Amino acid sequence: MPPALAEELRISIARLSRRLRTLRPSEDDDGGSLSLTQFAALAALQQHRGMTPRELADHEKVQPPSMTRVIAHLEERGLVTRAPHPTDGRQVVITPTEAAETLLAAQRRRKEAWLARQLAQLTPQERETLRRAAPILDKLSKA
């Protein structure tokens, strides 16, 4: 496998990922004041249906004190709740609230709409190539 393909994919995927991350909600959407880290934490909590603060910190690859601040901000905004851990009384489980679910759904719609507009500018052959490549890229992301 030529290294040029790996480099080309790395650069293209990084650019697309960065572009999608920058599509942030406005202050009017009540999510504009959240950082990318806070959005990522909310998305992880939604995906995993709740986590302990330590699990969330590990998942997001940040130090626990940093995640404690993220959780505090999200809790202050009414986007997460704390509940006792079902088996370990020393722990709590952080879960997203309905407001967080609504905010995340709006963010996903915004990103998908942007991506759909970009895809509409491609030729039918280019869209078909991407359709066939999507499962392959997903497979790479899980390796």
> In the chain, what are the domains?
31-142 (1.10.10.10)
- To 10 degrees, the CA torsion angle through 63, 66, 67, 72? 160
pLDDT of residue 77: 94
- Paired tokens of 36: 């990318």
Regions of the chain where pLDDT drops below 50: none
The single-letter DSSP state of residue 27 is G
Q: Of 40, 69, 39, 37, which is closest to residue 53 (Cα–Cα)?
A: 69
- In sequence order, the β-bridge partners of residue 82 are 94
**1 vs 13, 23, 131, 142, CA distance in Å?**
18, 34, 22, 19
DSSP secondary structure code for residue 2 in this structure: -
Six-digit token string for 133: 């490549």
User: What pLDDT score does 65 carry?
Assistant: 94
Average model confidence (pLDDT) for the chain?
90
pTM, entire model? 0.78
Residue 20's pLDDT is 87
How many angstroms separate the CA atoms of 113 and 138, rounded?
A: 20
Mention every residue, 6+ apart, whose C-beta is less than 8 A from residue 11.
none
